Amino acid sequence: FEIFNLDLKAGDSLKIKGRISEDANGFIINLGHSSSDLALHFNPRFNESVIVCNSKCSQAWQQEHRDSHLSFSKGSTIKLVIEFLADKFQVKLPDGHEVEFPNRHCYDKIAYMGVKGGFRVTSFKL
């Protein structure tokens, strides 16, 4: 699932609903200018019970940020709210916990969204 003309601006929120497959090891939501330049790589990993966030610049990964608050499970239907602020991203999890990640590239607009792995998007709203 990829979108190349997402018009997400600083101050906007993105709501994503979907179902996590029963056999998922994890899934990925990427936001940035392209698949090789990512401002936010959001990657819950069930086998490690962790949410990994990172950014990518010209195909090169940067330093990982790990949050051990994994509040959802395989087979569940969830809603995530990603707030894009000038200095950071705030991802609100289904239980209200927020994962914060800095806007390392100082992007003011996001054009690319990619969703991979064991997550089927049922709706998203800007």
Digit-coded pLDDT (tens) for 46-105: 999 999 999 999 999 999 999 999 999 999 999 999 999 999 999 999 999 999 999 999
Query: Which pLDDT band holds residue 8 (cuts at 50, 70, 90)?
Result: very high
pLDDT for residue 52: 98
Q: What is the DSSP letter of 119?
A: E
Q: pTM of this prediction?
A: 0.96
Return the number of other C-beta atoms located less than 10 Å from residue 73's C-beta.
Answer: 12
Which one is the CATH code of 2-125: 2.60.120.200, 3.30.465.10, 1.10.1740.10, 3.20.20.210? 2.60.120.200
Query: Which pLDDT band holds residue 39 (cuts at 50, 70, 90)?
Result: very high
pLDDT for residue 88: 98
Burial string for 86-109 (b: 16+ CB within 10 Å, else e) reads eeebebbbeeeeebebebbbebee
